[in-house]
Amino acid sequence: MKKLWTSVLALSFVLVLAACGSSEEDSSGAESDSGEGSSEIKVGATSVPHAEVLEEAKPLLEEEGITLTIEEYQDYILPNKDLAEGRIDANYFQTIPYLELQEEENGYDFVNLGGIHIEPIGVYSQKYDSLENVEDGTTLVMSRSVSTHGRILSLLEKEGLITLDESVEKVDATVEDIVENPKNIEFDTGVDAANLPEVYEREEEVLVAINTNYAIEAGLVPKDDAIILEDTDSPYVNVVAAQSKDEDNEALNTLVDVLRSDEIQTFIKEEYDGAVVPVSTEDSE
C-alpha cells in the first residue's frame, strides 16, 4: 500500500510539472504572437497643425493595420527629448534646420523619415500694416531658437529691410551678420516661440515674427494678418523624425506615406488655406 501511495505521489508530481511547463510555453507563445509585427505607434506633435493632421490620418492608418496614438506638446524641446528617451516612436513638428541643430546640441541620433509640409513664417504688428511705415528704431521680436534666425533675417533682407553679410549662408545667419540696417531695427531674440503671440497682443509698438503653428492657435490668419509672409518655396520643411535605428520601421514609413497621400495633402490645403502648404516628396528630404 505504501509503495502504491508513493507511486501516486510521484505521478502527481510529474503531471504538475508537465502542466506548469505547458502553461509557461503557452504564455511565452502568446507574448511572442502579440509582440510580433506590432502595428501600434505613438507620435509626438504640436497641437496645430501637426496633431490635427495626424488625427485626420488615423482612419487611413487603421486601413493599413496601424493604430496611432498622438502625444500632444506645446513646446519644441520635449518632443525630441521624449523621442530620444523612447517615450514616443516618432515626432512630427520640426523643420530640418531645427532637427539638425537639436542633434548637434544634444547628441541625438535621429533620422528624417520625410517632409510633409511647410508653414510659411510671418511678421506681425498691431501698429504697422506695411514695412514702409515701420519707424526708425522699431524692435523686432523673434524666437530664442537660433535655427529660426537665419530664416527670419533672410525674409527681412528679401523685403529690403536689412542686408546680410554675403559670405554667410542664409540659413546660418544671425543678427551679428547684418551689415546694413537703414531703419536701425532692434532685435529681441529672448522669447520662447510659444510666447510670441502673447508678445504680439501685449506690445503694440513692435514687430513680431511668429511661427505659423502658434499664429494659427492664436487666431491669426497668416495670409491676411502678416505684414510680410515667407514664400511657399521655403526650405524649412516640417518632417517626421525618428530614432536612427527605426529608419526602416515599416509602420513609421507607412505613416509618412499616408501623410503624403492625396487625401491628407488635400486636407492640408483646404483646412489651412495657404497657412500650411504640402510639399512635393523630391523637395522634402
Tell me: pLDDT of 9 over 50.
no
**Residue 237: which of 50, 43, 42 has the closest Cα?**
50
For the domain made up of 40-119+235-283, the CATH class stated in words is: alpha beta
* Paired sense of beta strands 207-210 and 186-191, if any: unpaired
| Full-model pTM | 0.79
> Is the pLDDT assigned to residue 22 strictly greater than 60?
no
3-state secondary structure 98-122: HHHHHHHHHCCCEEEEEEEEECCCE
* E-assigned strand segments in the chain: 40-46, 67-73, 90-95, 110-118, 122-124, 139-143, 163-164, 178-180, 186-191, 207-210, 228-229, 237-243, 277-278
Domains 40-119+235-283 and 122-229 share a fold: yes
94's grid cell: 520640426
What CA–CA distance (Å, rounded) separates 66 from 62? 5
Quickly state the pLDDT bin for 213 (edges 50, 70, 90).
Answer: very high
**Dihedral pair phi/psi, residue 218, rounded to 5°:** -85, 0
More confident call, 85 vs 284 = 85
Going from the C-alpha of 121 to that of each of 68, 84, 190, the distances in angstroms are 29, 27, 18
Radius of gyration of the chain (CA): 27
Predicted pLDDT of residue 282: 45
Which of the four pLDDT bands, split at 50, 70 and 90, describes residue 14? very low
pLDDT digits (tens, 9 = 90+) for 33-42: 333 455 999 9
- Mean pLDDT over residues 173-177, rounded? 97
The residue ranking higher by pLDDT, 17 or 277, is 277
Stronger pLDDT, 153 or 8, i.e. the higher one: 153
**In the predicted model, is pLDDT for residue 134 greater than 70?**
yes
What is the pLDDT confidence band of residue 235, given thresholds at 50, 70 and 90? confident
The answer to whether residue 238 scores a pLDDT higher than 80 is yes
What pLDDT was estimated at residue 15? 40
Q: What pLDDT shows up at residue 38? A: 53
pLDDT at 280: 65
Q: Quick one: pLDDT at residue 81?
A: 98
- Which residues are paired to 210 by β-bridges? 122
Query: Residue 102 — very low, low, confident or very high, per pLDDT cuts 50/70/90?
Result: very high
Residue range 27-54: mean pLDDT, rounded: 71
Instruction: Output the pLDDT for position 234.
Output: 83
* Distance between CA atoms of residues 249 and 30, nearest Å: 23
Choices 3.20.20.210, 3.40.50.1000, 1.10.10.10, 3.40.190.10: CATH for 122-229: 3.40.190.10
Each domain of the chain, given as residue ranges in start order, spans 40-119+235-283, 122-229
Residues 239, 115 contacting (CB under 8 angstroms): yes
- Asked if 98 and 214 touch (Cβ cutoff 8 Å), the reply is no
Decide if pLDDT at 262 tops 90.
yes
- The per-residue pLDDT of the chain, averaged, comes to 87
Share of the chain above pLDDT 70, in %: 85
pLDDT band of residue 1 (cuts 50, 70, 90) is very low
Nearest CA to 134 out of 176, 162, 164 is that of: 162
